[in-house]
């Protein structure tokens, strides 16, 4: 008769999982034994082996031990609290410090009975520790990001033999390099760190870099697909040296730390390719924060088919571009793709027989055949002066980077009314508000009504990863609802979806998707790239009458709705119904 190993009496979480029918007793016993043999936590083992879903494990543990379950993805991590515990200790115990109140430290664990972790951290920080229950998969993912950021930072400071440039370092003046050879050698880690941050940002497709000093830590964040994420931390005592290094490369005054400064860096990637960075410094309580905008004209797609216009929106834009005179305005917040939209139109008009001039601050996209002027208030080159100069140089099309005041707006309106095509931007929330904003500037309503042909408001939403996006089911049965992958039809209607779209989603004519929060090798958190959301509003005769009557933005918005012009919200939801982006993302960018 075959001998059997003695049974292990199940208790705690293993017992709860069996009672909840999430595991059978034999599998639970086998997993318990194997986890112990591998010196691995039971929770970590069963989740890693995919025996039980991590969410189910977390709920079962919460019920069994009476510990509240916290969604760690919704918690803003405190860098100071994270810095209290050695990273090696956190990796060893699969733990994460979340909150500090007095001498009490709250620690995120997927197994609240992991008393060894609590004791080790308690000894390390000399504080009382308490467990907070979190989802194992969420915890592992956040720990991996923290470890990756730390290792990236350490490599940048310690890897002295790695030549990070194909060619010379970014252009800088020789006389700006302070100190003798010994001092220059001492600054090598800072030089390496700044170089690596710039190149990594380009590789990741970032649009902005943020170098941020705080009282007890220094971090670097990138904005990728419109969302900021931390990528590295640096020793706090190097904050001033990092800011000084960036200033040297940007040709700024290194000795001036009390006022904001603006500069530019040219990074040479090869003999034929370079990328510009627009640099802005600003004094804060704990040092100078530096923000760098990547001006990579090669990365900008000027193909109108790739920008995400609906067919009718594209037709209206092209129709407005075909007018010999008048004004086209593009509106939206910083980073919403206004420049790319304008240059896409300019690119369509860029012919040998057309004289095109632009005034921008800064010039972000270099386009051959266009006369581009860099605005620089320090030298006296303002938008007003550039516009006046353009009008004396036989222009056909004028692009003004931004209408900031009545002087610039007045000249642009006059040019649009006297036989020139004028294109520009404004910072407003939607198309109707753009008209009232111009009136508020002091521009006469009749001048606006006669000059403006088209207003286009826009946002950029993250595009769902094609590899790992998850289909969403729409149901009428309330008992089947399980967000985010099973939604009730009434919930979508309440969000603003059209009934026809919801019907198509239920019959399979359309499919909407949700991001995979785990992401995949091809993406970050379920998103890859961005898509434009637009409100394209031509100025009709009825609209012109309302403008001249001085009507407010709400009346103009109602008129646009009567004319069948979808607003930003409706355009975004159409992208969701078409499977391009998620409802969560549209809610984020349309702020509703």
Packing angle of the helix pair 406-417, 383-390 (nearest 10 deg): 20
Residue whose C-alpha is closest to residue 568's, from 413, 421, 434, 450: 434
State pLDDT tens for residues 115-172: 888 888 888 888 889 888 888 888 888 888 877 776 666 565 555 434 433 334 444 4
pLDDT of residue 155: 60
Helix (H, G, I), strand (E, B) or coil at 520: coil
Using CA atoms, how far apart are residues 100 and 406, in angstroms rounded to an integer? 51
pLDDT of residue 186: 41
pLDDT of residue 277: 92
- Structure tokens of 181? 């050879």
Q: Are strands 452-464 and 326-331 parallel, antiparallel or unpaired?
A: parallel
Cβ proximity of 361 and 424 under 8 Å? no
Residue whose C-alpha is closest to residue 565's, from 583, 588, 587, 538: 538
Using CA atoms, how far apart are residues 177 and 164, in angstroms rounded to an integer? 20
Pick out the chain residues at pLDDT < 50: 1-8, 160-186
Using CA atoms, how far apart are residues 82 and 328, in angstroms rounded to an integer? 49
Cβ proximity of 327 and 452 under 8 Å? yes
Return the DSSP state at 565. -
Q: State the distance between the two ends of the chain, measured CA to CA, in whole angstroms.
A: 69
pLDDT of residue 176: 43
Return the DSSP state at 168. P
Using CA atoms, how far apart are residues 81 and 578, in angstroms rounded to an integer? 42
Q: How far is CA 106 from the centre of its chain?
A: 29
The number of residues in the chain equals 592
Cβ proximity of 25 and 18 under 8 Å? yes
Measured CA distances, 201 to 241, 296, 464, 522 (Å)? 20, 12, 21, 17
Q: How far is CA 299 from the centre of its chain?
A: 16
Q: How far is CA 44 from the centre of its chain?
A: 31
| Neighbouring C-alpha atoms within 13 Å toward the C-beta of 475 | 13
State pLDDT tens for residues 385-438: 999 999 999 999 999 999 988 999 999 999 999 889 999 999 899 999 999 999
Measured CA distances, 414 to 144, 337, 402, 548, 590 (Å)? 57, 26, 16, 17, 33
Q: Which residues pair with 78 in a beta bridge?
A: none
| Neighbouring C-alpha atoms within 13 Å toward the C-beta of 105 | 26
pLDDT of residue 161: 39
Q: Are strands 287-295 and 274-284 parallel, antiparallel or unpaired?
A: antiparallel
Using CA atoms, how far apart are residues 346 and 94, in angstroms rounded to an integer? 54
Q: How far is CA 544 from the centre of its chain?
A: 37
Using CA atoms, how far apart are residues 388 and 390, in angstroms rounded to an integer? 5
CA angle (105, 110, 115) in 5-degree steps: 55
Give the DSSP H or E segment for 318.
Answer: helix 311-321
Give the DSSP H or E segment for 561.
Answer: helix 553-562
Longest dimension (CA), the chain: 105
Q: Which domains does the chain have, with CATH numbers?
A: 12-148 (3.30.300.160), 159-298 (3.30.450.90), 304-463+529-590 (3.40.50.300)
Residues 6+ apart with CB under 8 A from 263: 247, 250, 251, 252, 278, 279, 281
């Amino acid at each position: 008769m075959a001998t059997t190993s003695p049974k292990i009496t199940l208790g705690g979480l293993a017992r709860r999982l069996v009672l909840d029918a999430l595991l059978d007793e034999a599998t639970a016993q086998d997993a318990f034994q194997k986890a112990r043999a591998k010196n691995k936590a039971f929770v970590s083992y069963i989740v890693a082996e995919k025996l039980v879903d991590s969410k189910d494990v977390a709920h079962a543990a919460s019920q069994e031990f009476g510990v509240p379950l916290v969604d760690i993805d919704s918690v803003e991590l405190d860098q100071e609290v994270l810095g209290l515990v050695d990273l090696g200790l956190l990796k060893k115990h699969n733990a994460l410090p979340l909150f500090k109140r007095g001498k009490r430290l709250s620690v995120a664990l997927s197994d609240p009975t992991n008393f060894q972790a609590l004791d080790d951290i308690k000894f390390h920080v000399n504080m009382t520790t308490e467990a907070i229950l979190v989802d194992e998969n969420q915890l592992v993912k956040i720990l991996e990001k923290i470890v990756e950021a730390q290792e990236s930072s350490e490599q940048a400071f310690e890897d002295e033999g790695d030549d990070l440039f194909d060619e010379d370092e970014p252009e800088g003046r020789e006389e700006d390099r302070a100190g003798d050879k010994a001092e220059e050698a001492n600054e090598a880690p800072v030089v390496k760190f700044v170089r690596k941050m710039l190149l990594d940002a380009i590789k990741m497709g970032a649009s902005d870099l943020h170098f941020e000093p705080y009282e007890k830590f220094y971090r670097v964040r990138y904005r990728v697909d419109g969302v900021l994420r931390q990528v590295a931390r640096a020793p706090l005592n190097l904050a001033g040296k990092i800011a000084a290094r960036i200033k040297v490369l940007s040709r700024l005054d290194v000795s001036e730390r009390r006022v904001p400064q603006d500069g530019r860096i040219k990074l040479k990637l090869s003999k034929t390719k370079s990328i510009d960075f627009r640099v802005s410094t600003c004094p804060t309580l704990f040092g100078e924060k530096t923000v760098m905008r990547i001006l990579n004209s090669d990365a900008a797609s000027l193909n109108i088919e790739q920008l995400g216009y609906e067919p009718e929106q594209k037709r209206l834009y092209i129709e407005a571009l075909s007018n010999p005179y008048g004004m086209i305005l593009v509106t939206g917040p910083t980073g919403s793709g206004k420049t790319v939209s304008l240059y896409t139109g300019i690119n369509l008009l860029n012919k040998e027989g057309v004289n095109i001039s632009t005034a921008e601050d800064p010039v972000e996209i270099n386009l051959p055949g266009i006369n581009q002027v860099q605005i620089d208030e320090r030298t006296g080159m303002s938008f007003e002066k550039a516009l006046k100069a353009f009008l004396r140089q036989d222009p056909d099309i004028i692009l003004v980077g931004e209408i900031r005041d009545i002087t610039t707006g007045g000249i642009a309106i006059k040019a649009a009314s006297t036989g020139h095509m004028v294109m520009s931007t404004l910072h407003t929330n939607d198309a109707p508000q753009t008209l009232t904003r111009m009136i508020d500037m002091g521009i006469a309503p009749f001048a606006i009504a006669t000059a403006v042909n088209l207003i286009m408001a826009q946002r950029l939403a993250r595009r769902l990863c094609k590899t790992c996006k998850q289909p969403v089911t729409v149901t009428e049965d309330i008992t089947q609802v399980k967000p985010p992958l099973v939604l009730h039809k009434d919930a979508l209607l309440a969000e603003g979806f059209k009934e026809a779209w919801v019907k198509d989603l239920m019959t399979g004519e359309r499919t909407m998707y949700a991001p995979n929060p785990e992401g995949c090798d091809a993406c970050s958190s379920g998103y890859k790239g961005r898509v434009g959301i637009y409100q394209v509003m031509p100025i009709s005769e009825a609209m012109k009458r309302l403008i001249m009557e001085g009507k407010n933005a709400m009346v103009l918005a109602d008129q646009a709705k009567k004319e069948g012009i979808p607003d930003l919200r409706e355009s975004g939801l159409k992208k969701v119904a078409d499977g391009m982006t998620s409802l969560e993302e549209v809610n984020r960018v349309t702020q509703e």
